[in-house]
Amino acid sequence: MQAEQVEIAQFLAQHPPFDDLPTNALNELAQQVEVAYYRSQTDILTLGQDIADLFIIRSGSVEIYRRNSELYNRLDVGGIFGQMGLLMNRKVRFPAKALEDTLVYCINFELFNRYCDEFDGFADYFEADGNVRLRQALVEQADSNDLTTAKVKSLIHRDVVTVNTQTTVQDVAKMMTEEAVSSVLVTDLDKPISDDPEEDDGQIVGIITDRDIRTKVVAQGLGLDVTANQIMSTNLVLLDSNSYVFEAVLAMLRDNLHHLPVVQKRRPIGVISLSDILRYESQSSLLLVRGILAQQTIEDLAHYARQLPNVFVRMVNEDANSHMVGTAMAVIGRTFKQRLLVLAEEKFGPPPVPYCFIALGSMARDEQLIVTDQDNALILDDSYDDDKHNDYFQNISDFVCDGLAQCGYTYCTGEIMASFKKWRKTRSQWFDQFSDWIAQPKPQALLNSSIFFDLDGVWGKTKWADELKVFIAKQSKQNRVFLANMAANARNRTPPLGFFKGFVLEHNGQHKRSMNLKRRGTAPLSDVIRVHALAMGSRKQNSFERLEDIIDARLLPEGKAQDLRDSLEYIAMMRIRHQAWQIEQGEEPDNDIDPHLLSPFEQRNLKEAFAILEKAQSFLKFSYSANVGVK
């Protein structure tokens, strides 16, 4: 006769699923358990380790984590864990940690299986539970690239390179070349990391980047024997290795830093750069992009495109800024076009003459959001023969435009699509068209300028699109009349602010009073920024990048360009969040926002952002008036 574990049996009898077991089964179970004790804050199960038991908490409490170390659940007396690992591949899927001193009863896998076989109720409990959790686990896995939950540690791919304060710049440069790094950390031997005296190189006191060597040594004509401490940057923001990636992003944005040293207990373990983050950030959208390229039919593509809103929402929830969202959405849109063109060429055969498919407007500017229509066109080789080749290009254009429509990119109401013959021109015709627009700017013709003057090659001879960009930049820069007309155009759409700076609302289709953040906000801002960019011959297309050029060239009075950047970012983010919120509510996303739903704080900021647009528009009037001669 085996010894009766009365206490254990009585405990189990009070907790599901054990409470349904017959008495003798319960007693047998009580005799078979193993008991383990975990002091508060110690690990019970770590991710990926082998697991051989089901755990029942007898006393204390336990925290269960997701694989990305986010808290998943908190269990106390009677709580059961470990079943996911047992049901899957007997590896721990949800790490567990004792939150308090915890006593657990462990039931081994063989016994667990036998009880599942013998007692239906027992099995049902775990299977029902298991399915739910399994689904969550799979969703989790797909989400494991979150900016908000990934640690910066995961971005460090190489050992840290350090020099000390007395290393000469020549040695620093040599080392950077040998190690192929763009930055080194400077440590001070006189400042030891006190709690770790072995191999102590000292604390980090500075960083030297390629740029420091260029600007502080070479440009200043300093000697090669200058020491590291004389040229290093000391405005360091150190990240703890347990920081999240988004904290790194915030630190970089806040302090305009491109390199962040990562430390573990003050010991340097790596440096992460802006490019590491960008590479990481685009992973989730890259995943979607890879998926797009794998689809074999328009139907598959259209089906696949339904994921787009989720990717969008996730980026927003990950605190991506408008540039990140806009770029990711543009890359995705571009990929849809490319895939459709591949499928079109498979269907209709190879093109009879070379061509280039171009994207226009927000996609070309990398400012695409979720609500967008398609603006596109074709550049054809000069050998194009209308009689012979028109059918082919009509076919592939229809194929692509119809396909895009099925994927959620609605037809352009302004008929700016490759499927309209007027927007399929040869290279020469396009040059002529742009020269004509620039030389003889008619207001009507320029209504579309905000679309055509942002263009990007997507497929085929994309360098033709680049040639056009160069041409546009050169021509428009010299042409004041053109710029004046563009400027007048950019003042057409005014921000929704009344005389006393109250919001001016419009009725939209559903009789709601709202304002359109795109038409009244981001679009006119892009227009204003484009005029300045064209005026200085910038070939950039993205509004934020254009603003950088504008700032570098000191084209605008001190602070104006920065104000424009902030204004654009604020309104764009409000648009983005509004759309993400609508998607999450199951609504059709749009650009119309009711300001009464905003907090007083948001209302004030939004008014401020619109006020900047308003000022920028009147500034255009002075700067690019056709009547004012060149200063």
Partner 1 sequence: MEKQSTFDWQSHYKALAHDAKNEHLKAFYTQAYGNTNTPIKAVEFVALDFETTGLNSEVDDIVSVGLVPFSMQRVYCKHAKHWVVQPRKSLSEESIVIHGITHSEVDDAPDLTSKLAPLLNALSGKVVVVHYAAIERHFLNNALLARINEGIQFALVDTMELEQRALRARQGLIGRLFNQKVGSLRLTDCRARYSLPAYHNHNALTDALATAELLIAQMQYHYREDTPLFELLS
> Which positions lie near partner 1, rule CB under 8 A?
2-8, 10, 30-40, 42, 58-60, 100-103, 106
Task: Write down the least CB distance from residue 88 to partner 1, Å.
Answer: 23
For residues 465 and 458, what is the distance between their CA atoms, to the nearest angstrom? Answer: 9
SS3 149: coil
For residues 244 and 323, what is the distance between their CA atoms, to the nearest angstrom? Answer: 20
Provide the token pair at 61: 């409490």
Task: Write down the least CB distance from residue 141 to partner 1, Å.
Answer: 31
Q: What is the length of the chain?
A: 631
Q: Which helix (H) or strand (E) holds 187?
A: strand 183-188
If the CB atoms of residues 8 and 379 are measured against partner 1, the closer one turns out to be 8
If the CB atoms of residues 30 and 356 are measured against partner 1, the closer one turns out to be 30
Task: Write down the least CB distance from residue 99 to partner 1, Å.
Answer: 11
Task: Write down the least CB distance from residue 198 to partner 1, Å.
Answer: 21
Residue 500 carries which DSSP code?
Answer: T
Contact 186, 162 (CB under 8 A): yes
Task: Write down the least CB distance from residue 33 to partner 1, Å.
Answer: 5
Please choose, from the candidates 251, 391, 322, 387, the residue with its C-alpha nearest in 3D space to the C-alpha of residue 570: 322
Task: Write down the least CB distance from residue 577 to partner 1, Å.
Answer: 45
If the CB atoms of residues 50 and 436 are measured against partner 1, the closer one turns out to be 50
Provide the token pair at 165: 């304060």
CB neighbours (10 Å) of residue 240? 14
Task: Write down the least CB distance from residue 306 to partner 1, Å.
Answer: 50
If the CB atoms of residues 77 and 302 are measured against partner 1, the closer one turns out to be 77
CB neighbours (10 Å) of residue 255? 12
Provide the token pair at 331: 């890359």
Q: Which helix (H) or strand (E) holds 203?
A: strand 203-209
If the CB atoms of residues 105 and 453 are measured against partner 1, the closer one turns out to be 105
Task: Write down the least CB distance from residue 42 to partner 1, Å.
Answer: 8
Contact 240, 263 (CB under 8 A): yes
Helices (runs of H) and strands (runs of E) counted in the chain: 23, 21
For residues 320 and 580, what is the distance between their CA atoms, to the nearest angstrom? Answer: 12
Task: Write down the least CB distance from residue 118 to partner 1, Å.
Answer: 18
If the CB atoms of residues 55 and 459 are measured against partner 1, the closer one turns out to be 55
If the CB atoms of residues 5 and 322 are measured against partner 1, the closer one turns out to be 5
If the CB atoms of residues 34 and 319 are measured against partner 1, the closer one turns out to be 34
For residues 537 and 532, what is the distance between their CA atoms, to the nearest angstrom? Answer: 9
Cα dist from 349 to 335, 386, 395, whole Å: 20, 17, 11
Provide the token pair at 107: 């039931």
Q: What is the distance of C-alpha 510 from the center of its chain?
A: 32
For residues 276 and 28, what is the distance between their CA atoms, to the nearest angstrom? Answer: 56
Please choose, from the candidates 393, 390, 377, the residue with its C-alpha nearest in 3D space to the C-alpha of residue 453: 377
For residues 363 and 374, what is the distance between their CA atoms, to the nearest angstrom? Answer: 9
If the CB atoms of residues 36 and 611 are measured against partner 1, the closer one turns out to be 36
Residue 559 Ramachandran class (φ > 0 left, ψ -120 to 50 alpha, else beta) = left
Contact 126, 81 (CB under 8 A): no
Task: Write down the least CB distance from residue 62 to partner 1, Å.
Answer: 13
Task: Write down the least CB distance from residue 34 to partner 1, Å.
Answer: 4
Positive or negative, the CA dihedral 385, 391, 394, 396 is negative
Task: Write down the least CB distance from residue 57 to partner 1, Å.
Answer: 10
Task: Write down the least CB distance from residue 25 to partner 1, Å.
Answer: 15
If the CB atoms of residues 5 and 149 are measured against partner 1, the closer one turns out to be 5
Provide the token pair at 240: 């703890």
Task: Write down the least CB distance from residue 7 to partner 1, Å.
Answer: 5
If the CB atoms of residues 4 and 118 are measured against partner 1, the closer one turns out to be 4
Q: Which residues are CB-neighbours of 253 under 8 A, at least 6 positions away?
A: 321
For residues 101 and 98, what is the distance between their CA atoms, to the nearest angstrom? Answer: 7
Question: Residue 514's beta-bridge partner residues?
Answer: 506
For residues 136 and 114, what is the distance between their CA atoms, to the nearest angstrom? Answer: 26
